[in-house]
C-alpha cells in the first residue's frame, strides 16, 4: 500500500512538472529559423562581420561572409528571428543563449546569432525582442540592411530604403535611408501627380557610421487631389533628385486622360490634333465608360483658361460602351450628330472620342455609333 501511495505521488509530481514546463515553454514564442536550401554550396570567405551595436546600419558584404549578431536581453524576453525567412539567403550556423559572457551585466542574457550569407542579393536582417504577451509590438527591433550583391564602390551616394514603391501616404510619409559620408546635405520634396510640391524640407543626417550615415524623417502634408505622386530626395544643392519613389495618396482614386482641342497647342488649320488632360476619378472596372463621361462633361474652367475646348455638343449622353477583341464600340445619343455641320468639327469630335478610348491598352480600334447606327453619322 505504501508503494502504491509513493507511486501515486510520483505520477502527480511528474504531471505537475510536465504542466509547468509546457506553460513555461508557451510564455515566449519560439524563434523562427531561416529557411535555406538543404545543401548550401557557397564556401565561407573567412570574413566575419560583427553587427554588435549596428542596428539601423547599411552593411556591405558578399556571399560566403559570416554575420555575427550578439544581442543582449533579460530573462522573460527573447530575441526572435524575423527575416529573411524564405529564398535560401542565409544559413544559420549557430544560435547560443548564455548568461556567462564578459559583455553582460548582472541579470542580462546574451543571445548570439551567427549566419552565413548564401546568395548575392540585398536583404533586411531583422530580429525582434519579445516577451510573453505576443499581441503587443516587439519591445525593440534589431534591423540592418545587408547589401551582398554590389561592392561599396557600386552603391549610389544616396539610398532610399523607406517608403517602399507605391506605399500609401495619406497625409504623412516616413523617410529612411542611407547617405555616404561625403554627402553634405539632403532635402526632400513630396510631389503630386502634376509635379507640384506639397511638402519640402531638409533631412537630418546622423554622424557617419562606417561608410554611410542614416537619414530619417516623418513628413506630414495636406493630401493632394491627385491619386498618386512621388517622393524625391535631393543631394546637396543639386536640382535633380538623387532618389525617387512613387507614392499613392488616395488608393480609391485612379487617373484617366481626356482628349480635347487646344488652339494654343495645335498646329494652324488642324482639325484632328487633340491633347490630353488628366482627370482623377473613383476606381471602377468600367474605366472606359468613366473616361467618356468625363469627356462629355467638357473642359473645366481651369482647362478652358489654358486653351482647351471640346467639339462635342452639349446634351450628349453615352448609351453604352462595349470592348471586344480590341474593338471599342461607343454608342451615343442623337445629340452627338445634331448641328455639327462642317468637316473640321466632325473630325474633331471623332478624334476626341477615339484618342480618349485608345489610351487603354485593350483598345486598338474605335467604332462610333448613335442609337445603334454606325452608317451615315457625323457627316459634314
Q: What is the DSSP string of 131-195?
A: -S-TTSPPSEEEEEEEE-SS-GGGS-SEEEEESPTTEE-SSEEEEEEEEETT---EEEEEEETTS
**The pLDDT of residue 292 is above 80:** yes
**The pLDDT of residue 162 is above 70:** yes
**The pLDDT of residue 12 is above 70:** no
pLDDT digits (tens, 9 = 90+) for 250-278: 999 999 999 999 988 988 778 889 999 99
**The pLDDT of residue 8 is above 50:** no
Which CATH number is 110's domain given?
2.60.40.2020
**The pLDDT of residue 134 is above 70:** no
Judge whether 27 lies within some domain: no
Which residues sit opposite 48 in a β-bridge?
Answer: 66
- Exposure string over 254-267, b if 16+ CB within 10 A, otherwise e: bebbbbbbbeeebe
**The pLDDT of residue 27 is above 80:** no
Same structural domain for residues 364 and 257? yes
- Cell numbers of 55, please? 542596428
Judge whether 34 lies within some domain: no
**The pLDDT of residue 16 is above 60:** no
* Average confidence (pLDDT) over 291-315: 94
- Indicate the pLDDT class of residue 103, thresholds 50, 70 and 90: confident
Judge whether 191 lies within some domain: yes
Give residue 242's pLDDT: 80
* Share of residues in the chain with pLDDT > 90 (%): 63
| Minimum mean pLDDT range among 101-115, 121-135, 145-159, 295-309 | 121-135
Give residue 380's pLDDT: 64
Same structural domain for residues 85 and 128? yes
Judge whether 98 lies within some domain: yes
Judge whether 7 lies within some domain: no
| Minimum mean pLDDT range among 62-71, 130-139, 184-193, 323-332 | 130-139
Same structural domain for residues 202 and 288? no
For residues 312 and 349, what is the distance between their CA atoms, to the nearest angstrom?
6
Judge whether 378 lies within some domain: no
pLDDT digits (tens, 9 = 90+) for 181-236: 888 889 999 999 989 999 999 998 888 777 889 999 999 998 888 999 999 999 87
Same structural domain for residues 262 and 243? no
Same structural domain for residues 208 and 307? no
Same structural domain for residues 244 and 268? no
Give residue 211's pLDDT: 83
State the DSSP code for 335.
Answer: G
Judge whether 42 lies within some domain: no
Q: Which of 190, 218, 248 is the last residue of a domain?
A: 248
* Average confidence (pLDDT) over 50-64: 93
Q: Which residue, among 339, 299, 292, has the nearest Cα to 317 in the 3D structure?
A: 292
Same structural domain for residues 193 and 270? no
Number of domains the chain is built from: 3
Same structural domain for residues 280 and 355? yes
- Indicate the pLDDT class of residue 136, thresholds 50, 70 and 90: low
Give residue 132's pLDDT: 66
**The pLDDT of residue 37 is above 50:** no
Give residue 375's pLDDT: 85
Q: Which residues does 299 contact at the CB level (< 8 Å), separation at least 6?
A: 260, 277, 308, 309, 310
Domain that includes residue 171, residue range: 158-248
Same structural domain for residues 311 and 341? yes
Average pLDDT, the chain: 85
Which CATH number is 201's domain given?
2.60.40.650
For residues 194 and 192, what is the distance between their CA atoms, to the nearest angstrom?
5
Identify the residue with better confidence: 240 or 125: 125
Same structural domain for residues 213 and 233? yes
| Minimum mean pLDDT range among 28-42, 112-126, 355-369 | 28-42
For 24, 28, 79, 105, 139, the CA distances from 135, given in Å and listed in that order, are 17, 11, 16, 29, 11
Same structural domain for residues 207 and 262? no
Identify the residue with better confidence: 63 or 345: 63
Same structural domain for residues 87 and 165? no
pLDDT digits (tens, 9 = 90+) for 277-287: 999 999 999 99
**The pLDDT of residue 6 is above 70:** no
Judge whether 236 lies within some domain: yes
- Indicate the pLDDT class of residue 337, thresholds 50, 70 and 90: confident
Which residues sit opposite 127 in a β-bridge?
Answer: 81, 142
Q: Which of 128, 151, 174 is the last residue of a domain?
A: 151
* Share of residues in the chain with pLDDT > 70 (%): 88
Give residue 339's pLDDT: 78
**The pLDDT of residue 9 is above 70:** no
Q: Which of 211, 230, 248 is the last residue of a domain?
A: 248
* Average confidence (pLDDT) over 46-66: 94
Amino acid at each position: 500500500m505504501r508503494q502504491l501511495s509513493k507511486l501515486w505521488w510520483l505520477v502527480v509530481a511528474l504531471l505537475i512538472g510536465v504542466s509547468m514546463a509546457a506553460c513555461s515553454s508557451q510564455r515566449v514564442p519560439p524563434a523562427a529559423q531561416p529557411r535555406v536550401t538543404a545543401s548550401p554550396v557557397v564556401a565561407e570567405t573567412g570574413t566575419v562581420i560583427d553587427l554588435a551595436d549596428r542596428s539601423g546600419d547599411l552593411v556591405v558584404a558578399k556571399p560566403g561572409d559570416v554575420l555575427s549578431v550578439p544581442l543582449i536581453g533579460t530573462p522573460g524576453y527573447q530575441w526572435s528571428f524575423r527575416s529573411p525567412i524564405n529564398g535560401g539567403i542565409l544559413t544559420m550556423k549557430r544560435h547560443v543563449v548564455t548568461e556567462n559572457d564578459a559583455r553582460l551585466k548582472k541579470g542580462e542574457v546574451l543571445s548570439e546569432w551567427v549566419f552565413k550569407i548564401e546568395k548575392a542579393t540585398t536583404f533586411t536582417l531583422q530580429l525582434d525582442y519579445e516577451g510573453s504577451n505576443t499581441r503587443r509590438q516587439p519591445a525593440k527591433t534589431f534591423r540592418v540592411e545587408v547589401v551582398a550583391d554590389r561592392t561599396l564602390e557600386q552603391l549610389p551616394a544616396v539610398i532610399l530604403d523607406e517608403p517602399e514603391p507605391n506605399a500609401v501616404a495619406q497625409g504623412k510619409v516616413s523617410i529612411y535611408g542611407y547617405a555616404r559620408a561625403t554627402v553634405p546635405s539632403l532635402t526632400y520634396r513630396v510631389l503630386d501627380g502634376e509635379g507640384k510640391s506639397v511638402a519640402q524640407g531638409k533631412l537630418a543626417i546622423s554622424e557617419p557610421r562606417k561608410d554611410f550615415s542614416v537619414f530619417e524623417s516623418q513628413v506630414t502634408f495636406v493630401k493632394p487631389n491627385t491619386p498618386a505622386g512621388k517622393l524625391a530626395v535631393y543631394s546637396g544643392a543639386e536640382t535633380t533628385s538623387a532618389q525617387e519613389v512613387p507614392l499613392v495618396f488616395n488608393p480609391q482614386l485612379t487617373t484617366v486622360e481626356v482628349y480635347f482641342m487646344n488652339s494654343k497647342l495645335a498646329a494652324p488649320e488642324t482639325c484632328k490634333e487633340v491633347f490630353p488632360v488628366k482627370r482623377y476619378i473613383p476606381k471602377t472596372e468600367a474605366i472606359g465608360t468613366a473616361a467618356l463621361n468625363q469627356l462629355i462633361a467638357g473642359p473645366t474652367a481651369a482647362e478652358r483658361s489654358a486653351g482647351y475646348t471640346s467639339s462635342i455638343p452639349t446634351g450628349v449622353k453615352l448609351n453604352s460602351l462595349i470592348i471586344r477583341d480590341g474593338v471599342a464600340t461607343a454608342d451615343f445619343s442623337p445629340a452627338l450628330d445634331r448641328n455639327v455641320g462642317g468637316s473640321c468639327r466632325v473630325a474633331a469630335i471623332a478624334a476626341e472620342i477615339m484618342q480618349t478610348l485608345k489610351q487603354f491598352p485593350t483598345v486598338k480600334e474605335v467604332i462610333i455609333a448613335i442609337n445603334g447606327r454606325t452608317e451615315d453619322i457625323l457627316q459634314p
